Homo-oligomer: A and B are copies of this chain.
């Protein structure tokens, strides 16, 4: 069984890539060899890992020789091309991008939720969207125990979901400066904006992801979901106002106890004393925080919840490293090659 791994981080200079490195350190992942990769633009940067400086290389077809696990957090084009190349060489790819997530030969994994879906993977494993991850970690115990008929979600997302450029635009605007680069045409500071709208029904990319991904992760393709995704002028942490209708009756107390005993979830729910999850308090934490668990009296089995997590950690980097830990623990380095074009 492998326990000394050669790891590649693709997109190492980005916000998520750098956080992945920090989390590999924190969780003492057994890295013995580390390859940092980026676009030619980022190549040459030096990034420390466990006190040793590593130089970032430009990604190429030869980057994945004898690499055990590659953590990808790069643009779509990189994921599409190099995930295939890496997997063909026997490297297990854990991709944080959206391209592979709904592919039928690619498992979409949240370790607390559907670890078994990893068995029989074909070398490419997808990390879900940030706002999906915190949603399914919090809702899985409820889905399993009481069933969920329908959910209506409105998100309160940090602009850090658009990467360092998003943070830079917000910071420039707060300082009254013309932003050097923009992720949003409309101002972010003191405002709310939407993600790019893509489908003919007027839904944003993010809303489509949050509608499709939970169904795949829960393996419940009848799950009814309606989502509105909103970006806020906050530097980190996503909030979600979630209304659910359960199949079976339950109570606020039962839900609270159930969630409190669930992996990866912390219930913080004393709002009378201003004790509840917020984006700021979620910073640098790996758990998903749930509060404001309330009965919705407008329908028989209705409940409201407020779900918060650090979108860069549990929403991206931590979840990817947890998948790598699962690959290690279950010894899933060997896999049957697949034709991803069919």
Say whether A234 contacts B280, CB under 8 Å.
no
Chain A 214-247 against B: per-residue CB contact (8 Å), 1 yes, 0 no? 0000000000111010101111100101010000
Given contacts A156-B156, A280-B187, A304-B226, contact A271 B194 (CB under 8 A): yes
Assess whether A193 is interfacial by the CB under 8 Å rule: yes
Q: Kindly state whether residue A164 has any CB partner on chain B within 8 Å.
A: no
Which residue from chain B places its CB closest to the CB of A308 in the assembled complex? B192
Judge whether B292 and A228 touch: CB under 8 Å.
yes
Contacts of A302 on B, CB cut-off 8 Å? 226
A295 CB to nearest B CB, Å: 6
Q: What residues on B are CB-neighbors of A254 within 8 Å?
A: none
Taken residue by residue from 273 to 315, chain A's Cβ proximity to chain B (1 for < 8 Å, 0 otherwise) reads as 0101011100000000000111111110010101000000000
Given A224-B299, A239-B192, A299-B224, does the pair A233, B234 have CB atoms closer than 8 Å? yes
- Give the number of times this chain occurs in the complex, counting copies: 2
**B contact residues around A269 at 8 Å (CB):** 202
CB contact under 8 A between A152 and B243, given known A226-B304, A234-B190: yes
Kindly name the residue among A152, A194, A243, A279 whose own CB sees the greatest number of chain B CB atoms within 10 A.
Answer: A152
A226 in contact with B278 (CB, 8 Å): no
Contact indicator per residue, chain A 71-93, by CB within 8 Å of chain B (1) or not (0):
00000000000000000000000
- Cα distance A156–B230 in the bound complex, in angstroms: 9
| CB within 8 Å for A232 and B192 given contacts A154-B241, A187-B280, A271-B197 | yes
Q: A279-B191, A280-B187 are in contact. Are A299 and B150 (CB under 8 A)?
A: yes
A203 to B252, CA, bound (A): 13
* Nearest-Cβ distance from residue A152 to partner chain B, whole angstroms: 5
| CB pair B280 A191 closer than 8 Å | yes
Contact status A292-B241, CB under 8 Å: no
Question: Does any Cβ of B come within 8 Å of A201's Cβ?
Answer: yes
Do A192 and B279 contact each other (CB < 8 Å), given the known contacts A226-B302, A228-B292, A292-B228?
yes
The interface residues of chain B lying within 8 Å CB-to-CB of A296 are 152, 226
B243 touching A239 by the CB < 8 A rule? no
Pairwise interchain contact A194-B299, C-beta atoms closer than 8 A: no
* Given contacts A152-B298, A190-B235, A197 and B272 within 8 Å (CB-CB): yes
Q: In whole Å, how far is A170's beta carbon from the nearest beta carbon of chain B?
A: 9
Interface residues of A (CB under 8 A from B): 150-152, 154, 156, 174, 184-187, 190-194, 197, 201-204, 224-226, 228, 230, 232-236, 239, 241, 243, 252, 269, 271-272, 274, 276, 278-280, 292-299, 302, 304, 306
17 contacts between A and B (CB under 8 A): A150-B298, A156-B230, A156-B232, A174-B174, A184-B274, A186-B278, A191-B234, A192-B234, A192-B278, A194-B271, A202-B294, A225-B298, A226-B296, A228-B241, A228-B243, A228-B304, A243-B243
